[in-house]
Chains A and B, each alone.
Chain A
Amino acid sequence: MIEESYDTKTFVFGWNEEVRPGQFVMVWVPGLDEIPMSVSGINARTKSITVKAIGEATRKIHELGVGDRIRIRGPYGNGFDLSRGEMLVVGGGVGTAAVIPAIVQSGADAIIAARTKDDVIMDDLARRYSKDLRIATDDGSMGFHGNAVQLMKEMAAEKRYDCVLACGPEVMLYFTYKACQDLGIGCQLSMERYMKCGAGICGCCVMDDMRVCKDGPVFDERQIPLLTEFWKSKRDPCGRIVSLR
C-alpha cells in the first residue's frame, strides 16, 4: 500500500494475469459496489490499482490494509498502443494512474497535471522512467503554472511528437484532442463511462456505438471524430442521456 496523496492510495496485489498498459479491472469488496479501476502498476506477479477516495466504494477501499482481500476481474479494455513513434504521455488528476504503465514501459516524455502540488501523484515513479517529465498545476504551486493542455502545446513546440497518450477529466481530453488536431499529430485518449459488466456485453457504457469497456477505453484520432457524445453527454445507469456541459 502506498499513500500517493491525501486522497489517493495505491494498492498492490498478487496477480499473474498478463495486462497491457491502459487496461482496467473491475474491483469488488464485499458489501460494496463493484467499480472499474485502471491498472496502475504491472509486474509479472503483482499488479496495482491507484484509488482516489471520492465516494462510498472508494472510501471503503481506502480503509483496507495489508492482507485484506479484494476481488478483481479482468483485465478489460484495449489499452494503449505504444508503437506509435515519438510519444508524449499526459495524465490529469487520478487519470495519471492509467498512464503510468505506459510511461514505465515506453520511457516517453510525460506530463503529470493536477490542481495543486498536493494533488500531484506518482511523479517520483514517472521521473524514474520518463525521458522528460514535467509537472503542471492549475495554481502554479509545482512546476508549470497552467493546465495540462497548455503545457502539452508548449512541449510540442519544443519537440516533435507523433502521438499524445492521455487520461484525465473529459474536458482535458477534449482540449487535448483539439490541440492534437491543430498540431496535426495522433492521439490516444482513455475515456470513462458508467460501467456494469465491464466486459462488453451489457452495452451500458457506450459512447455512440462504441463500448468504452471493450472497444475502448482508449480511442484514437480516427475513432474520436465518430464519438459525437465525447464531451457532450453520457448515459446514467438507466441508459438515460445526461448532458456533460
Chain B
Amino acid sequence: MVSLIAKVGALSFDKPGMVASGIMDETGQSMVRMLGCGAGAVVSKSVGMKPNEGHANPCFTETEGGMVNAMGLPNPGIELFEEEMKVAVPHGKIIGSIYGSGPEEFGALAGKMEDYGACAVELNLSCPHAKGYGMEVGTDPRMVRDIVSAVKSAVDIPVWAKLTPNSHILADIGMAVQEAGGDAVVAVNTLKAMVISPEFARPVLSNRFGGLSGKVLKPVGVRAVYDLRTVLDIPIVGVGGISTWRDAAEYIMAGASAFQVGSAVLTEGPCVFECINEGLEAFMHDYGYGSVSAMEGAAHERGGRSNRECDRGVLRHQDVRVRME
C-alpha cells in the first residue's frame, strides 16, 4: 500500500501537494474550490497590514515555458481577510501567507492568521517585485533571523519561511530560519525577470520587472531544494514549475517533504492536483516507495534523510552498484 500522506514537521497532510501562495487563494470561496481539487492544503494569498491594490496593469504576461508577473501583492488587508478565512477554514487546511516590512508587522500578522484558524503561517520573505517587502527583507540573514524569531514568539502554530532563488546565499538564509526556530522552509518563490516588447522598445510590465514562474523555473527550484537539504535539518516544501508527478517526484527526491503548485493551475487547470496524485501514487507503487517520506531526499548520494528508511527495493540496487564500482 502506497500512502500519499505528507508530513511537514508536526503537520500532516492527506495529500503532498498544496496550492502555492497567490494562485486562486485571495477569496474564501476560491480556496474552498482548490481544496476540493485534490490539494492537501491551500496557502493563502500573501496578506499585509493594509489593503493593497498591487501594481498597475500590465502586471502579467506569458513567456516561453512560463510566465512573468508583478502583481505587487494585491490583498484586502489582514482585517478584512478574516472573512475569507472564515469561509475557507472549515473546508480544510489553510496556511496563512503574510508579508510585512519587519519583525513587528510579521508578528502581528501571524497572530491574526493564527486567530483566523490557519494551520501554519508562511512568511513571504521572497516576493521579487514589492518595494520594501518580500525579498528585500528576505535576502539578509540577520533580518530573516529577527523576523522568524519574532513570529515564533507570537504564535504557537508552525512557522514556514518562503525563500527567494534570487540570492547566492540561499543556504545562509535557510540556516537563519532554522537557527531562529523556524519549522520549515518553502523554496522557491519566483525568479526576478523582465519581458521587453521589441516593437515598443520598453518593458511590458508596468513595474518593469517581475517574477518568473512555471515550467522554466523547475530546475532552479530543484537545485535550491537539493542544496538546502544538504545543510538544513528542518523540513523543506518544494515549489517552482511543478505541473506533473515527475516534477513533484524530482522535488521530493531533492529533499522536499511536500510541494506546492502555482502556475500549473493556469496551464493544466485546477485538476492538476488530481493528475499529480494519481501519477505519483502509480510511480511510488512501481518503484517500491511506500510513502512520501521514503522517497524524500532519494537523489542525495548518501545521508539524504530517507536513506535511513529501508522500505524500498530501488535504493538497495543502487547500493550494490556503488559497492561493485
- Seen from chain A, the residues whose Cβ lies within 8 Å of a Cβ on chain B are 26, 28, 30, 33-35, 69, 71, 73, 196-204, 206, 208-209, 211, 214, 235-241
Contacts and interface: CB of A to CB of B under 8 A. Distances in A.
Interface in B18-41: 22-27, 29-30, 32-33
10 contacts: A28-B58, A30-B202, A34-B58, A34-B59, A73-B61, A196-B54, A196-B59, A201-B23, A201-B60, A238-B53
Contacts of A203: 23-27, 30, 45
Contacts, number: 100
Interface in B54-85: 54, 56-62, 67, 69, 71, 74-77, 80, 83
Given A28-B204, A203-B45, A198 B51 contact: no
Contacts of B45: 203, 239
A204 B204 contact: no
B71 A196 contact: yes
B71 A202 contact: yes
Given A199-B266, A204-B26, A237-B53, A209 B32 contact: yes
A94 to B, nearest CB: 19
By CB atoms of chain B within 10 A, which of A201, A209, A236 has the most?
A201
B265 interface: yes
A108 to B, nearest CB: 30
A240 B80 CA distance: 8
> Chain B: interface secondary structure?
loop
B69 A206 contact: no
Nearest to B58: A34
A33 B200 contact: no
B180 to A, nearest CB: 31
B74 A237 contact: yes
A82 B324 CA distance: 67
B58 A200 contact: no
B24 A33 contact: no
Contacts of B309: none
A237 B266 contact: no
Interface string B186-199: 00000000000101
A239 B197 contact: no
Contact of B69 (A71, A197, A237): A197
Contact of B266 (A73, A200, A206): A200
Given A30-B200, A238-B76, A199 B53 contact: no
B58 A69 contact: no
